[in-house]
Chains A and B, each alone.
Chain A
Amino acid sequence: MALQSLDIKQRSATTTPAPQARQTVEIAKLIDVSACIGCKACQVACMEWNDVRDEVGSCHGIYDNPVDLTENSWTVMRYAEVEEQGKLEWLIRKDGCMHCSDPGCLKACPAPGAIIQYANGIVDFHQENCIGCGYCVSGCPFNVPRISKKDSKAYKCTLCSDRVAVNQAPACAKACPTGAIQFGSKEDMKDYAEKRIADLKERGYEKAGLYDPAGVGGTHVMYVLHHADKPDLYSGLPVNPSISPMVALWKGATKPLAALALAGVALGSLFHYVMKGPNEVSKEIEKEVEKEDAQ
């Protein structure tokens, strides 16, 4: 076992399973929105660790900057001013890859080994294998991957796979000043979330809860939300995300059906030829034509 520093669970566009014998700990990042002050330390720590720098943009009349994820901004804060029952709340969510257990990007990816899901749950893009088709963009239920304008490769949060591989927390989690980002085993993170949710409920957020959507098999980036019943309040966090049925159809049923259909046509033709023989001009007509020529 040599070629990877993290065990692989599955790789894109590969029909045979990766070695599955080793059982390593499943990790997760927990974002406690109720403790988030929207300081963007995670954004800058991400830029600093991964050596990516976006363009200096401009102010769009909101605090969000950069305004959206890009190939150089793998995480951004999204700010929503919500007024419910006269109480103003500023719901600030760190957006980025959710590292789904059932990753739509990986499902959609046609390039073998361009997207890897590690056994610990990290879904990582390997740009050297990426062909730049953007299928991952269509595959993602959270609108995360971005194609670089410079090199046409897809980029997104790696969950700092290079740090996790040497047992360090992702850069954002380490930096987070208020501990709104926690990192550990998925089980620990769920336990921690439970405590936070209990505290929030005591403070009057009766609908507080954990966002770990089952539609994508659970995620390795989870949120503690004060309003878990309304995830869309948080700048449009999907209420019930899943891989789009169209993508499922495209990368699911279509594949075997089409392959079978094509094989059927090919084999059908072959056997038709073998069994029925060629469709030749009949001797009769050949003679007729010869006769005409003789005239």
Chain B
Amino acid sequence: MTNHWVDFKNADVVWVMGGNPAEAHPCGFKWVVEAKKQRKAKLIVVDPRFNRTAAVADVYAPIRPGSNIAFFGGVINYLLSNDKIHHDYVKHYTNAAFLIDPGFKFEDGLFSGYDETKRSYGSKDTWKYQMGADGFARIDETLQDPNCVFQLMKKHYSRYTPEMVNKVCGTPKDAFLKICEIVATTAAPNKTLSYLYALGLTEHSNGSQNIRCAAMIQLLLGNMGMAGGGINALRGHSNVQGITDMCLYAQTLPGYLGAPTDADKDFATYVAKRTPKALRPGQMNFPQNFPKWFVSLTKAWYGNAATKETNFAYDYFPKLGGASDALSIFNDMFMGKVNGFFCQGFNPLASLPNKKKVGDALAKLKYMIVIDPLATDTSEFWKPHGEFNEVDPSKIETEVFRLPATFFAETSGTLTNSGRVVQWGWKAANAPGESKDDAEIIAEIFLTLRKMYAKDGGAFPDAIRDLTWAYNQPLSPSPEEVLKEINGKALVDLTDPKDPTKILFKAGDQLPSFGFLRDDGSTSCGNWIYCGSWSQAGNNTARRDSSDPSGLGQTLNWGFSWPVNRRILYNRASADLQGKPWDGSRTVLKWTGSKWGGNDVPDMRPDAAPDQYVMPFIMTPEGVGRLFSREIMADGPLPEHYEPFESPIDNNPMHPKVKSNPVARVYKADMEAFGTAKDFPYVATTYRLVEHFHFWTKFSKANAIVQPEQFVEIGEALAKEKGIKAGDRVKVRSNRGFIKAVAVVTKRIKSLEVDGKQVHTIGIPIHWGFKGTAKPGFITNTLTPYVGDANVNTPEFKAFLVNVEKI
């Protein structure tokens, strides 16, 4: 998230849509309740279900699953057409004034440049800024040019009228307008709205664009960078943020450094492509430091093998040959293209869509390595568990290794929360039996392989041979040593660039910030954004001073917040052009006359005086927030409503020719496994309950007691139609399989009128499976479709079609 958990208390309005923090993040949600209690903040909840967050909301509105962009578009239209925007902010801190290529068009549901055969936008040339002779993007500060972003947005979203919102989302018009009104109050410079979301926005075929909508609204309202503002991804696991930062996924290397692909033929091409040039004069364009970050990473990993001569061991980094996200991986596996599978603390049989397909894919492996503290469902995909897992082990040839790992308090180390605060935890007890730390298991596997390669040779042993592994106990790298490596150090004495006689850091010193990283191989750093977590001052993640002099909850001496202990991202935007805070009572940053000061680490060059016009969004080459996302997104520079791949209505009411996301990747077999409204008339959405955490707490007795058995939630209207009473057992079917569960009949899910049709929604919590202490249940993802978001392929778990019957 751009802000942090405690910062919610600074909000005037909290808008939750696409999340359910009261259930998924209760202890973070406390700060929303605190805002209500202390600031008289209003809480808005938009969700298909009246959930436990809605139970304490001031305004709740229902919405049909999968129609978020229509809702957001409606809000954007309301703000623009009623002139409820923060003018100065929009003009200076966003790309509203930027001129777009005149060839840019949106017609019949498609942006210019669509290639139907490839299901993608083959050419995005028209999505770009008009460039001036000076090499910078052209702007029109009056915002009047028909090709400026502001005007393009106005035009694009004028179609999203309250009537259209009602037609697409089923949301009652008065509830929608009431929400618009409350949201619009925060266009005032000194009012903020905090936007909270989680998987309810991401798990759609338009997931990324959903989030962009929320970000655009926050830019229009001038709420980014403000205390009590921001766009706040609540996120999932305890260290989902840290693991994302460490980049345990194909597309990036630690610190979000784009991973090399086949197109990056050599080191020079690779670096050039990832080192942008500023698009406006004088902007910080911080990603221009990419070479420093990448080279320091290569030094951390390959030490002396990473030199200028070897192009910093560039070839040691494998290049991506194509898609490599969980869905594509399992599709490849399903096609028999994968032999070995390393499954660390992950339960894909339960977590990925279409359990049947996932199970069949696992059965095609030669070997699988499961590292987990618990006997997960995935580790027993081959084992019959009644109707919950009907398989024939004699036909499954996969050799499965199951290695016991430690659980959290059985090991020390850091976790990063979604407010980017890295916190050290201490080991409290030994793990049961022979369990080992993940790091120990990895070390054992790696060192065994290294020995084998040293002895027998094999395919490309170089990287294996040269990987730095300078831990005191090689078989047991301590978290302290690893965090120091991640932080980075000087490899030689580093001198001050302004005064070469002055030694800033001696060789071997831990570095305090990524500002000191170099691209010449004189520094090493495992993850640049974590630089500063373990400086010469020691382990900053273990700091435990929770004092809060500003009263804003910044607690700058608690743990370490990346980057450089900054608590609110883009905080320069909390002050006006002259550096005066938009709201003096919640000062995050202000210009003190000689430097930036205030209650946070400045997200700005500390001495960048306001008259230098260095804009706040330093991670973009244009220096401003993007209302129009140029060519970055796969499915368009402005979010547009597309129906979920399984939709209860026949056409997209916005544009009949293009129903669903035109560029989302769908495999052929999965396309065929989609159901239609004729056979599966009800919309289903999956979600989490407060009593459980994913597929873990079914192993915990306390949680099994407070929510023991699988259920589905059905609105009273549908229940009446189907003759289902609370407590009855029902069977829910999709075109991919079925589950059986107890029916919870509720007033909290209303049937909605969508495009002239009555649409019922069924709510399906995910937490059950065939292993654990809770009552055994079906894997909910038996039902879900195997299709993901067009940009990042997060599966569409939130909107699909089912049928239901009483059993």
Contact = CB atoms under 8 A, between A and B. Distances in A.
In their complex, do chains A and B touch, with some C-beta pair under 8 Å?
A: yes
A44 B774 CA distance: 15
Contacts of B30: 177-179
B742 interface: yes
A60 B726 contact: yes
A62 B708 contact: no
Contacts of B705: 47, 53-57, 65-66, 73
A90 interface: yes
B706 A43 contact: yes
Given A59-B710, A88-B748, A90-B50, A39 B702 contact: no
Contact of A40 (B37, B54, B690, B747): B690
A65 B706 contact: yes
A178 B702 contact: no
A59 B711 contact: yes
B747 A88 contact: yes
Contacts of A180: 33
A54 B701 CA distance: 9
Given A47-B702, A56-B774, A61-B726, A38 B744 contact: no
A55 B29 CA distance: 30
A57 B742 CA distance: 13
Chain B: interface size category: 35 or more
Contacts of B710: 59
Interface string B685-703: 0000011000000000111
Chain B contact residues: over half helix, strand or loop, or mixed?
Answer: mixed
Interface in B8-36: 22-23, 26-27, 29-30, 33-34, 36
A293 interface: no
A35 B33 contact: yes
A37 interface: yes
B609 interface: no
A38 B55 CA distance: 9
B159 interface: no
Chain A: interface size category: 35 or more
B742 A90 contact: no
A187 interface: no
B54 A90 contact: yes
B746 A40 contact: no
Given A37-B29, A39-B26, A58 B56 contact: no
B745 interface: yes
A83 B747 contact: yes
B27 to A, nearest CB: 5
Contact of B775 (A58, A63, A81, A89): A58
B708 A65 contact: yes
A203 interface: yes
A180 B27 CA distance: 12
Nearest to B724: A61
A56 B708 contact: yes
Given A37-B55, A61-B744, A199 B40 contact: yes
B40 A59 contact: no
Contacts of A40: 690-691, 706-707
Interface in B38-67: 40, 50, 52-56, 58, 60
B313 to A, nearest CB: 47
A286 interface: no
A202 interface: yes
A92 interface: yes
B727 interface: yes
Interface in A32-90: 34-41, 43-44, 47-48, 53-63, 65-66, 73, 81, 83, 88-90
A276 B367 CA distance: 105
Nearest to B32: A178
A203 B27 CA distance: 24
B563 to A, nearest CB: 29
Nearest to B744: A61
Contacts of A177: 26-27, 29-30
Given A59-B708, A90-B50, A178 B29 contact: yes
Interface string A122-164: 0000000000000000000000000000000000000000000
Interface string B720-751: 00000111100000000000001111111000
B710 to A, nearest CB: 7
Contacts of B52: 37-39, 90, 92
B791 interface: no
Q: With a 10 A CB-CB cut-off, give which of B690, B706, B773, B774 has the most chain A CB atoms.
A: B706
A208 to B, nearest CB: 14
B748 A56 contact: no
A73 B709 CA distance: 18
A114 B551 CA distance: 48
B704 interface: yes
Q: With a 10 A CB-CB cut-off, give which of B30, B56, B691, B703 has the most chain A CB atoms.
A: B56
B26 A92 contact: no
Nearest to B22: A37
Nearest to A57: B708
Contact of B56 (A34, A55, A56, A199): A34
A196 B40 CA distance: 11
B728 to A, nearest CB: 7
Contacts of B748: 81, 88, 90
Contacts of B54: 90
A81 B53 CA distance: 14
B56 A178 contact: yes
Contact of A37 (B26, B704, B727, B743): B26
Contacts of B40: 199, 202
Contacts of B53: 37
Task: For the complex of A and B, list the 5 residue pairs with the smallest distance between their C-beta atoms, beginning with the closest.
Answer: A61-B726, A61-B727, A177-B26, A37-B22, A59-B709
12 contacts: A35-B37, A39-B691, A44-B703, A47-B705, A56-B708, A61-B711, A61-B727, A61-B744, A62-B727, A89-B55, A177-B27, A179-B34
Interface of A: 34-41, 43-44, 47-48, 53-63, 65-66, 73, 81, 83, 88-90, 92, 177-180, 196, 199, 202-203
Given A37-B22, A55-B705, A59-B744, 20 more contacts: A35-B36, A39-B23, A40-B691, A40-B707, A44-B706, A53-B702, A56-B701, A56-B708, A56-B773, A56-B774, A58-B775, A59-B708, A63-B744, A65-B706, A65-B708, A83-B747, A88-B747, A88-B748, A90-B54, A178-B33
